[in-house]
Structure 1
Amino acid sequence: MTARSEVPDHHAEVLERCHEHIISLGKPVVLSQMLPLFAQAEPQLTREIMSEANRMGVYDQYMIPVFGPFDMNGLIAFGFAEAIPEDSREMRRDLEAAAASHHNQMVRHFVSNETPIELSGRESDVLTWIARGKSKSEISTILSISVSSVDTYTRRIFEKMGVNSRVAAAIAGVTQGLVKP
Structure 2
Amino acid sequence: METSGSFAFFVAQCQGCTRVSVLWQAALTYLHAQGIKMVSYHSNDAQRPGSDHLGIVADGFPQDWVCHYIGDNLSKVDPIPQLAARVGRPFLWSRAADLEALTPAQLAYLQELSSSGLGDGLAMCAYGPGMRNAYVGLGFGGPAPDLSDTQIFELQCAVQICHLKYCELTEWRQASFDPLTKREREVLEWIAQGKSNSVIAEILGISRHTVDTLLRRLYEKLGVNDRTTAAIRGVGSGLVVV
Q: TM-score, normalised by structure 1?
A: 0.51
Per the alignment, residue 9 of structure 1 pairs with: 72
Give 5+ residue unaligned stretches, structure 1.
116-158, 163-181
Confirm or deny: 8 A CA contact 2:94 2:114 kept in the other structure.
no
**One-letter amino acid of the structure 1 residue matched with residue 119 of structure 2:** Y
Give the whole-Å Cα distance in 2 for the aligned partners of 1:78 and 1:25: 17
- Give matches, 1:1-181, under 5 Å: 1=59, 2=61, 5-7=67-69, 8-15=71-78, 17-36=79-98, 41=103, 42-52=106-116, 54=117, 58-80=118-140, 81-85=142-146, 88-113=148-173, 162=238
Higher-helix-fraction structure: 1
Give the whole-Å Cα distance in 2 for the aligned partners of 1:111 and 1:10: 28
**One-letter amino acid of the structure 2 residue matched with residue 63 of structure 1:** A
The structure-2 alpha-carbon separation of the partners of 1:27 and 1:160, relative to structure 1 and needing over 3 Å to count, comes to closer
The structure-2 alpha-carbon separation of the partners of 1:43 and 1:93, relative to structure 1 and needing over 3 Å to count, comes to closer
The structure-2 alpha-carbon separation of the partners of 1:61 and 1:108, relative to structure 1 and needing over 3 Å to count, comes to same
Give the whole-Å Cα distance in 2 for the aligned partners of 1:9 and 1:161: 30
Number of paired residues? 114
Per the alignment, residue 215 of structure 2 pairs with: none
Percent identity at matched positions? 19
Confirm or deny: 8 A CA contact 1:38 1:46 kept in the other structure.
no
Confirm or deny: 8 A CA contact 1:61 1:84 kept in the other structure.
no
Query: Following TM superposition, by how much is the alpha carbon of 1:161 offset from its aligned partner in structure 2, in angstroms?
Result: 7.7
**One-letter amino acid of the structure 1 residue matched with residue 144 of structure 2:** A
Query: Following TM superposition, by how much is the alpha carbon of 1:90 offset from its aligned partner in structure 2, in angstroms?
Result: 2.3
Could you say what secondary structure the match of 1:62 adopts?
A: strand
Give the whole-Å Cα distance in 1 for the aligned partners of 2:89 and 2:95: 13
Give the whole-Å Cα distance in 2 for the aligned partners of 1:47 and 1:95: 26
Give the whole-Å Cα distance in 2 for the aligned partners of 1:89 and 1:160: 31
The structure-2 alpha-carbon separation of the partners of 1:6 and 1:107, relative to structure 1 and needing over 3 Å to count, comes to farther
Give 5+ residue unaligned stretches, structure 2.
1-58, 176-234
Confirm or deny: 8 A CA contact 1:60 1:84 kept in the other structure.
no
Per the alignment, residue 175 of structure 1 pairs with: none
Query: Following TM superposition, by how much is the alpha carbon of 1:33 offset from its aligned partner in structure 2, in angstroms?
Result: 2.1
Pairwise CA RMSD of aligned residues? 3.1
The structure-2 alpha-carbon separation of the partners of 1:78 and 1:24, relative to structure 1 and needing over 3 Å to count, comes to same
Confirm or deny: 8 A CA contact 1:59 1:83 kept in the other structure.
yes
